[in-house]
Structure 1
């Protein structure tokens, strides 16, 4: 095989692999969004009130930052939440005095089916399990 042919074959293989990985990621995001829409409806039906969501400053530090968002925290450390808009939020933001005074803008993250995947041991958990725990049951009613 000529070097140019090999390089072209390799380039096509990389493109195919990249396209397959992106398709898989898009399907994962779609499934996660469906789960979160189900959760918001289930929480409302069960009378589980949304609350004001706050963010932690990057690097920790004291205090929480107002976000202007409402929703449900999914972890005890209040690091991730589902908003009333059925979006997934990672609740960290730049801190500082101005942020404490005015609040911060937190944009939705692309949701994953495994929250915390790639993080430290013991920090990853399936999104469906976090949502079921937040509802306080085994997720009866979820058919996904």
Structure 2
């Protein structure tokens, strides 16, 4: 796939985020229960993103005695993961909706594993900070 072709595919995917009626032009309408389940999954991903973003702000605001590098690093890890999670939510929703309409297998993703690893790494870092104390 050429660079232009990849960019064009990405642009089309993002366009579908904001013009979902174009998805209806593909395939046939799936059972509404599956579409609603897809939407509930989307909302669960958004709740996860909001929790990560809230955790990032909490680390920054409520741990002022934590060394600056630790505080900023942990906060940015959580905030960045929250942003990626929210973007992944809408991308996944579109991909699943299109697959259902086309009668294809549902798309697979490494993102849940990546998200789990990032959260685990941040949790271990926080455990280290708690065990060693956080005063600079």
Give the shorter-chain TM-score range: 0.3 to 0.5
Structure with a larger share of its residues in helix:
2
Q: Which structure would you say has the larger RCO, counting Cα contacts within 8 Å and 6 or more residues apart?
A: 2
Q: What TM-score does the superposition give when structure 2 sets the normalisation length?
A: 0.41
Structure with a larger share of its residues in strand:
1
